Structure 1
């Protein structure tokens, strides 16, 4: 893992600070991952938000890092939206500032990013897509609804073994304000902390 990213994790992620209310919300994901580990099955997680531009990408990236950090094998994290837009540039900037290495694979209206947390690990591929995109798993996955609009608007996710709402406040509320960088950094670290909590609870 890159040193700057490891420093971000060591200095900012404290799972003990998660409230009991949030732990209760996260428990369903803990249970899903634990069952897959127990059964020696692949762990496919699709994080879903309306535009697949902010929260779902942050969740996808940090869940993959948390799995690697705790050496939970065969974890494959994806993201999608109820519609396709683009990964919001501030998300890539925020993750870069927190220690990831990010570069564009394509440069168009919906760029494809390679998001690396270690020199020798496969990058997380970040771009906006619908949750049922061919890029994402079609069966044997858990759908994590990271915003209430997507949760309410998608009562049924085809192929999902389970659908779990784990919602986060949209950092978009800070766009075009002086607080933007601070809000995006805080939301990223909140999501990181909760994903680290989930994987810290897994017994191998």
Structure 2
């Protein structure tokens, strides 16, 4: 697969937090998520995070990748991250590309024109991330989990999420609207950076609380 690494993953992750701009309400939400995860870690010693978006093709995939990376970065071996949708489509090509641009390596494990399965790794990676589009209640997910919806549609279409011990709504702007435009790469990278920064904020808060 074509690879276009131009930014160091670790540096991008650090810069995303340093340059993060969020309002007071958003910060309170991130702190609430961090506090709940911290309490679960202290009580159960294991936490499963399920990032949910309608198509599981862009924002939820980015969140899963950065959450998995954050577990590695902060040495949280008992925090597991995955993602799903209210429907399965594919790990969208532009999502793959924006992650490649910040240092993630993608290798195809199972080829499919519609929904290939990727092995996603990074420098010093021990356990590659497995990425493909799937339903939020997929058999591949560890249960029970904390559900984090990353788009309004997923939040509205899932009035009840089985196996969720808690649910948070953390929406991000959808870069899809910029597909096939001159702003495509810029807007995907913008969403990529915001998600990386907010995931970094959550995990950093957990680290400071334990």
Tell me the TM-score range normalised by the shorter chain: over 0.9
Give the alignment's Cα RMSD to 1 decimal.
1.6
Q: 1:63: Cα distance to partner?
A: 1.1
Q: 1:191: Cα distance to partner?
A: 0.2
**Structure 2 residue aligned with 1:36:** 40
**What is the CA–CA distance in structure 2 between the aligned matches of 1:198 and 1:12, rounded to whole Å?**
12
**Structure 2 residue aligned with 1:131:** 136
Which segments of 5 or more consecutive residues in structure 2 lack a partner in the other structure?
1-6
Per-residue CA distance 1:19-74 (angstroms, 9 max, x = gap): 32211122231122101222252110000000000000000111111222222231
**What is the CA–CA distance in structure 1 between the aligned matches of 2:55 and 2:20, rounded to whole Å?**
31
Per-residue CA distance 1:60-116 (angstroms, 9 max, x = gap): 111111222222231110100000100101111110110111111112110001111
**Structure 2 residue aligned with 1:69:** 73
**Structure 1 residue aligned with 2:155:** 151
Aligned residue pairs, count = 201
**Structure 1 residue aligned with 2:118:** 113
Question: TM-score, length-normalised on structure 2?
Answer: 0.90
**Kept in 1: contact 2:51–2:148 (CA 8 A):** yes
Question: TM-score, length-normalised on structure 1?
Answer: 0.93
**Kept in 1: contact 2:16–2:194 (CA 8 A):** no
**Structure 2 residue aligned with 1:190:** 194
